[in-house]
């Protein structure tokens, strides 16, 4: 098994340092990555964890994405940063991606689904149900059905299953013989899940949007930038579940640091640290 960390189009949100914790000013725009993970399996092709923004988002963002989030986040749309183009630079083709494991269906995680027409998409059933309801104005901005041409290839999993390091309802994704599992981490959305991958050196958990800033998992003094704290509050569907799962992730990191590596989707600090473990390709950098 080989793992690649891909930044599939950075966002440049209002708030500068108040958002990312490392920009030089408050009035400029910050930089958040879109951390996707590509797993090369021995027998079952490529598995992609989240897809970021896709080719169609790059070429026609106003027809596919919410004007509200385009203005707020100002994604740095570059075709070279899409998952499919990065995978091609690794020597593969789109059809080599046989499986996609989704943390959730937000527009900046599901945008690249269209680019992999032969992949089975694995996601939680509660996430599909909540996204399909389009219950509120914000739901209609975050969940974009125009990104879902792959729906006939979706494989849904109920909120029941095994237990993984104390997290119940875990489901291994079907059709992959390596240990790759959906781990329920509800709160940001009603069906949000992490994706756990067993490597030779231990587990890797892509926790999606269960948290946004690396210091939120500090067991002694958890903290988040003001901008990301507000964004999480604005986007949360279940505050009690979101904060409870953050506490459980802190306990997981503290109690199993040598067994589990945890990352989230939008922290460039974490992304840069993980990319540094391998020789990076320039278009994959967290900064645009």
Q: What is the token pair recorded at 142?
A: 């975050």
How many helices (H) and strands (E) would you count in the chain? 11, 12
198 CB neighbour count, 10 Å cutoff: 13
Which whole number is the average pLDDT over 29-38? Answer: 96
265 confidence band (pLDDT: 50, 70, 90): very high
Query: Is position 281 within any domain?
Result: no
C-alpha separations of 273 from 5, 28, 65, 96 in Å: 10, 24, 30, 27
C-alpha separations of 66 from 61, 135, 170 in Å: 8, 16, 32
Say whether pLDDT at 200 is over 80. Answer: yes
Query: Is position 288 within any domain?
Result: no
State how far the Cα of 88 lies from the Cα of 150, in Å rounded to an integer: 20
Query: Is position 283 within any domain?
Result: no
**C-beta contacts of 219-224 below 8 A and 24+ residues apart:** 219/250, 219/251, 219/253, 219/254, 222/246, 222/250
Considering the entire predicted model, what is its pTM? Answer: 0.93
Which whole number is the average pLDDT over 245-272? Answer: 96
- Closest Cα to residue 142, out of 185, 188, 102, 183? 188
Domain with 214 in it: what CATH number? 3.60.15.10
Q: Looking at residue 275, what is its pLDDT?
A: 86
Q: Looking at residue 3, what is its pLDDT?
A: 95
| Contact residues for 53 (Cβ-Cβ < 8 A; gap 6+) | 8, 9, 34, 75, 77, 81, 82, 107, 108, 111, 112
Query: Is position 286 within any domain?
Result: no
Query: Is position 221 within any domain?
Result: yes
159 confidence band (pLDDT: 50, 70, 90): confident
Which whole number is the average pLDDT over 198-207? Answer: 95
- Closest Cα to residue 16, out of 5, 25, 4? 25
Q: For the chain, percent helix, then strand, then coil, each to nearest 5?
A: 35, 20, 40
| Contact residues for 261 (Cβ-Cβ < 8 A; gap 6+) | 202, 203, 204, 205
Tally of domains in the chain: 1
Q: Looking at residue 286, what is its pLDDT?
A: 45
Query: Is position 157 within any domain?
Result: yes
Q: Looking at residue 278, what is its pLDDT?
A: 58
Say whether pLDDT at 155 is over 70. Answer: yes
Q: Which tops the pLDDT comparison, 226 or 283?
A: 226
Query: Is position 108 within any domain?
Result: yes
Sign of CA dihedral 48, 114, 136, 157: negative
Domain that holds residue 94: 2-276
């Amino acid at each position: 098994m080989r793992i690649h960390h891909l930044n599939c189009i950075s966002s440049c949100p209002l708030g500068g340092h108040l958002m990312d914790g490392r920009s030089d000013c408050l009035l400029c725009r910050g930089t958040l990555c879109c951390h996707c993970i590509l797993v090369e399996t021995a027998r079952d092709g490529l598995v992609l964890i989240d897809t970021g923004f896709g080719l169609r988002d790059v070429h026609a963002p106003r027809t596919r994405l919410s004007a509200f989030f385009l203005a707020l986040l100002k994604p740095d749309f570059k075709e070279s940063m899409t998952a499919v183009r990065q995978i091609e630079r690794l020597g593969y083709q789109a059809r080599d991606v046989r499986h996609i494991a989704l943390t959730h269906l937000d527009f900046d995680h599901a945008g690249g689904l269209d680019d992999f027409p032969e992949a089975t998409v694995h996601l939680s059933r509660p996430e599909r149900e909540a996204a399909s309801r389009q219950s509120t104005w914000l739901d209609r901005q975050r969940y974009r059905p125009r990104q879902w041409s792959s729906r006939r290839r979706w494989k849904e999993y109920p909120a029941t299953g095994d237990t993984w390091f104390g997290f119940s309802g875990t489901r291994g994704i079907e059709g992959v013989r390596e240990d790759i599992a959906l781990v329920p981490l509800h709160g940001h959305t009603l069906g949000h899940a992490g994706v756990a991958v067993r490597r030779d050196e231990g587990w890797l958990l892509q926790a999606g949007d269960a948290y946004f800033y690396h210091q939120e998992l500090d067991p002694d003094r958890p903290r988040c930038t003001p901008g990301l704290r507000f964004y999480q509050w604005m986007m949360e569907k279940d505050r009690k579940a979101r904060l409870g799962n953050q506490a459980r992730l802190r306990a997981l990191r503290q109690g199993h640091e040598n067994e589990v590596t945890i990352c989230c989707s939008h922290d460039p600090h974490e992304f840069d640290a993980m990319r540094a473990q391998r020789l990076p390709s320039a278009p994959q950098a967290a900064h645009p």
